[in-house]
């Protein structure tokens, strides 16, 4: 284990919220500019969360906040394991655990809106999970290891052999980032058919934790995207960092140019993408001996 594998996760824990704030803030500014608005200051997400923390403490039941806290903790654990260079499948499974815990919090309220939101989120999990697994498997077949550390220092950019899987990952990233057209479970806009979906019944501190969790989650997801460009050289790291930001901007563009689609479309399209790009790419790798 190298020193890097200790520093990097520590940096993640400390810096991810800061970067997450900047990312979410820039997202809002870019979105505003795309819609010919001026938009809020870049630090607006931080102001929002600070305000949520100071709100009157109320809840719909006694267990919800606990579930959300667990979800946040396991999200951070996911990122720590990823940035420590740990096993990618373990990372993926912990991510699923965190996602399911958030849904459990939503389900626990027994509120119609939260329930529908959570159920749609389950559809999304079912839709994107195969592609996420194929991503991990593809990286393994390419590098011979599930460990992020080995993949990142492998000497060759994974993207060169995993173009199909990368495209598939970008596709389902729309769901993971809760962007239109697949923001079915919960979106930033409150005035819609399912109110705030999954997060309808969260308020005050609980909602603030959900926001913080998203900061951590987004930085982790960008890390996953950047991994496709890492080859152990400085250039690779620089390229990965630059391109993951570009991918995020691309997702913002998608967000602003599509209307929300039905879960049926989400499921069908994501599975098709996983089958064609994911399985196809892995089959090609097998055929040509990795």
Partner 1 sequence: MLFLILFPVLAAVVLLLTRNEKARSIIVMASAATVAIASILLAATYYGQGLVLFDVGIQSITPLMFAAEMVLAAVLFYLGIRYKKYPASILAVIQAALVAWFEYGIGHDIHATNDLYIDGLSSIMVLIIGVIGSLIVVYAIGYMRNSRHHNPEEKDRGPWFFFLMFVFMSAMFGIVLSNNLVWLLFFWEITTICSFLLIGYTKTEKAINNSFRALTMNLLGGIGFAVAVIVIGYDLGIVEMDRLLEMGAAGAAVMLPVGLLAFAGIVKSAQMPFQSWLLGAMVAPTPVSALLHSSTMVKAGVFIVIKMSPLLGMNSAGVMVMLVGGITFLLASMAAVSQSNAKRVLAYSTVANLGLIVACAGVGTDEAVWAAIMLMIFHAATKSLLFQCVGTAQHNIGSGDIEDMDGMFSKMPRLAGLMIIGLVGMFLAPFGMLISKWAAMASFVDAENIILITCVCFGSAVTVFYWGKWLGKMVAVVAGRENIEKGVERHEWFSTGTLACLAVALCVLFPVVSDHVIVPTVQTMFGTVSVAVSSSNLYIMSAMMVLMLLLPLLFFRKNKKETKHIYMCGVNTGNNLSFTGSMGREVSVSIRNRYMQDWFGEKRVGGIGMYVTAGMIVMIIAYSVYIWAGGAV
The site for partner 1 (CB under 8 A) is made up of: 56-63, 65-67, 69-70, 73, 77, 81, 86-87, 89-90, 93-94, 96-97, 100, 103-104, 107-115, 118-119, 122-123, 125-127, 129-130, 133-134, 137, 140-141, 146, 195, 200-201, 203, 271, 274-275, 278-279, 282-283, 286
Question: Which one, 93 or 258, has the nearer CB to partner 1?
Answer: 93
Cβ neighbours of 85 (radius 10 Å) = 20
CA distances from 244 to 50, 81, 134, 226 (A): 28, 19, 19, 5
Question: Which one, 207 or 243, has the nearer CB to partner 1?
Answer: 207
Q: Give the Cα separation of 142 and 119 in Å (integer).
A: 35
Backbone angles phi, psi at 87, to 5 degrees: -70, 130
Beta bridge partners of 166: none
Four-point Cα dihedral 125, 170, 37, 257, nearest 10: -80
Q: Residue 177 CB, nearest distance to partner 1 (Å)?
A: 19
Q: Residue 35 CB, nearest distance to partner 1 (Å)?
A: 27
Q: Residue 251 CB, nearest distance to partner 1 (Å)?
A: 22
User: For residues 63 and 40, is the Cβ–Cβ distance under 8 A?
Assistant: no
Question: Which one, 32 or 267, has the nearer CB to partner 1?
Answer: 267
Scan for tokens 């999304």, then name that residue.
Answer: 124
Q: Residue 100 CB, nearest distance to partner 1 (Å)?
A: 6
Question: Which one, 106 or 243, has the nearer CB to partner 1?
Answer: 106
Question: Which one, 220 or 248, has the nearer CB to partner 1?
Answer: 220
Q: Give the Cα separation of 197 and 119 in Å (integer).
A: 9
Q: Residue 141 CB, nearest distance to partner 1 (Å)?
A: 7
Q: Give the Cα separation of 212 and 199 in Å (integer).
A: 13
């Amino acid at each position: 284990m190298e020193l890097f594998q200790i520093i990097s996760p520590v940096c993640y824990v400390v810096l991810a919220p800061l970067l997450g704030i900047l990312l979410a803030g820039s997202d809002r500014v870019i979105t505003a500019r795309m819609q010919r608005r001026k938009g809020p200051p870049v630090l607006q997400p931080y102001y929002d969360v600070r305000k949520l923390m100071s709100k009157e403490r109320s809840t719909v039941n006694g267990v919800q906040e606990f579930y959300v806290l667990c979800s946040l903790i396991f999200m951070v654990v996911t990122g720590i394991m990823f940035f420590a260079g740990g096993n990618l499948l373990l990372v993926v499974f912990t991510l699923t655990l965190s996602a399911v815990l958030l849904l459990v919090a939503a389900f626990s309220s027994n509120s119609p809106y939260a329930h529908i939101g959570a159920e749609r989120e389950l559809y999304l999990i079912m839709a994107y999970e195969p592609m996420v697994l194929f991503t991990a498997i593809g990286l393994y077949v390419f590098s011979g290891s599930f460990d992020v550390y080995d993949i990142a220092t492998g000497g060759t950019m994974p993207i060169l052999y995993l173009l199909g899987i990368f495209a598939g990952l970008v596709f389902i990233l729309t769901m993971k980032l809760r962007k239109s057209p697949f923001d079915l479970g919960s979106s930033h806009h409150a005035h819609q058919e399912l109110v705030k979906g999954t997060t309808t019944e969260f308020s005050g501190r609980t909602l603030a934790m959900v926001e913080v969790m998203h900061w951590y989650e987004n930085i982790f997801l960008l890390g996953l995207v950047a991994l496709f460009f890492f080859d152990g050289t400085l250039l690779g790291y620089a390229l990965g960092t630059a391109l993951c930001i570009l991918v995020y901007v691309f997702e913002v563009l998608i967000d602003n140019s599509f209307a929300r689609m039905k879960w049926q479309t989400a499921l069908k399209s994501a599975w098709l993408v996983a089958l064609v790009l994911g399985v196809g790419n892995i089959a090609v790798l097998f055929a040509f001996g990795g």
